[in-house]
Amino acid sequence: MRIALSTGGGDAPGLNAVIRAAVLTALGRGWEVLGVKRGFAGLLGEDDVVSMTSDSVRGIAHLGGTILGTTNRGNPFKWPRPQRDGSFLELDRSGEVLVNARQMGLDALIVIGGDGTLAIADKLADKGMRVVGVPKTIDNDVAGTVTTFGFDTAVNTALEAIDRLHTTAASHDRVMVLEVMGRHAGFIALHSGLAGTADVILIPEIPFQLSKVCEKILARGKAGRHFSIVVVAEGAAPQGGTTATMGPSMPGEDRRVGGIASRLAHEIQKATGKETRSMVLGHLQRGGMPTGYDRLLAARFGGAAVRAVEQQKWGHMVALQSPHIVTIPLKDALHEPKRVDPSHDLVQTARQIGVSFGD
């Protein structure tokens, strides 16, 4: 057997631990393993395809990022070709991926990615490619799996920030607004906010009202607590309003989600008269060492992905359905995105211990 691995989309802590486990599991079966650089670029002749040995994966399980490199502009069905004016033309180069994979003698491809990359993997599987997926995202928004590696690390990074903001907020009697990642799903904000005892948690799944946020802050003041911590997911939006966005990363691309914290801080200060500061945690949540939980989940996913190849589970992805790692059709996972259920016990508990969701 000759298999290849690729990592696509935004990185997440634990990718290297998946790569290590998959490579060692496959080598243990006497298979040959290749690493495709920068998403699918290596399969389009736009980057390298390298041989993976036990030496290639030595000492990487604890490292953030991915030794294979990644990109969120790597969709072979919409491959961006730069134009003179700085914009991009999109070409369908998926056929080339299949031809090149065949020429390389690949028996299977393990694609490690979030919903975008897994949707590409699914389309390649429909075209006849032997693909197995591994779900990855710090946002925890891939359905069919209890969680994804990277999420626990991101929550812990956000939690540390909340803890640090608490002491400075309390010392200055300020409101601190922390923006965490989560374009469409509020899992990072909910989990880190509840664990970090935030006073207000704002998530995309529960549109908020500024007046309710301010009510909570003022009520705390009346009760003698003159500081407040607001944790807001970047994709949270006011009722009847829109998500905050910044300019596109590259000409011709969609605007990037972000900027809600500074907008909110300004509005909270104006409405409550309380000094308010904001900060955006940003890509700190994506970098750095994966937690023990994420390393373990990543290792389990990597091993299970190779076993899925052995069982010819084409078009499937590995998933955690506690306590087991299972395989499910990619289509089932991609059918509906995973979002915070506003009736989930985490939300109920948060509300019952006084957290405001601004609704």
Residues annotated catalytic, as ranges: 139
Residue 72 is a binding residue for ligand F6P (CB under 6 A): yes
Counts for the chain of helices (H) and strands (E), in that order: 10, 15
Give the interface segment with ligand F6P, choosing from 163-171, 181-189, 298-306, 307-315 (CB under 6 A). Answer: 181-189
Report, in Å, the least distance between residue 105 CB and ligand F6P. 33
User: Which residue lies nearer to ligand F6P by CB, 199 or 234?
Assistant: 234
Residues 304-323 that bind ligand F6P (CB under 6 A): none
Query: In this chain, which of 75, 137, 276, 291 binds ligand F6P, going by CB under 6 A?
Result: 137
Locate 171 and state its tokens: 């010392």
Give the interface segment with ligand F6P, choosing from 76-84, 131-139, 237-245, 327-335 (CB under 6 A). Answer: 131-139
Say if residue 46 is exposed, middle or buried (CB neighbours under 10 Å; 0-12, 13-18, 19+): middle
User: Which residue lies nearer to ligand F6P by CB, 39 or 182?
Assistant: 182
DSSP, collapsed to helix, strand or coil, labels residue 201 as strand
Residue 204 is a binding residue for ligand F6P (CB under 6 A): no
User: Which residue lies nearer to ligand F6P by CB, 151 or 208?
Assistant: 151
Residue 205 is a binding residue for ligand F6P (CB under 6 A): no
Nearest CA among 165, 182, 131 for reference residue 4: 131
Residue 74 is a binding residue for ligand F6P (CB under 6 A): no
Residue 214 is a binding residue for ligand F6P (CB under 6 A): no
Nearest CA among 224, 244, 235 for reference residue 181: 235
Give the interface segment with ligand F6P, choosing from 81-89, 133-141, 163-171, 222-230 (CB under 6 A). Answer: 133-141
Give the interface segment with ligand F6P, choosing from 29-37, 105-113, 136-144, 290-298 (CB under 6 A). Answer: 136-144
Cβ atoms within 10 Å, residue 333? 23
CA 221/CA 308 separation, integer angstroms: 56
| CA dihedral of 68, 72, 77, 79, whole degrees rounded to 10 | -90
Give yes or no for a cis peptide into 323 (omega within 30° of 0).
Answer: yes
Query: What's the angle, vertex CA 24, arms to CA 18 and CA 27, rounded to 5?
Result: 135
Cβ contact 120:296 at 8 Å: no
Residue 10 is a binding residue for ligand F6P (CB under 6 A): yes
Residue 152 is a binding residue for ligand F6P (CB under 6 A): no
Query: In this chain, which of 5, 159, 181, 260 binds ligand F6P, going by CB under 6 A?
Result: 181
Alpha helix positions (H), the chain? 15-28, 94-103, 115-126, 151-172, 187-195, 210-222, 260-272, 292-310, 330-335, 345-352
Residue 257 is a binding residue for ligand F6P (CB under 6 A): yes
User: Which residue lies nearer to ligand F6P by CB, 133 or 182?
Assistant: 182
Which residues sit at the interface with ligand F6P, rule CB under 6 A?
10, 72, 114, 137-139, 181-183, 234, 257, 286
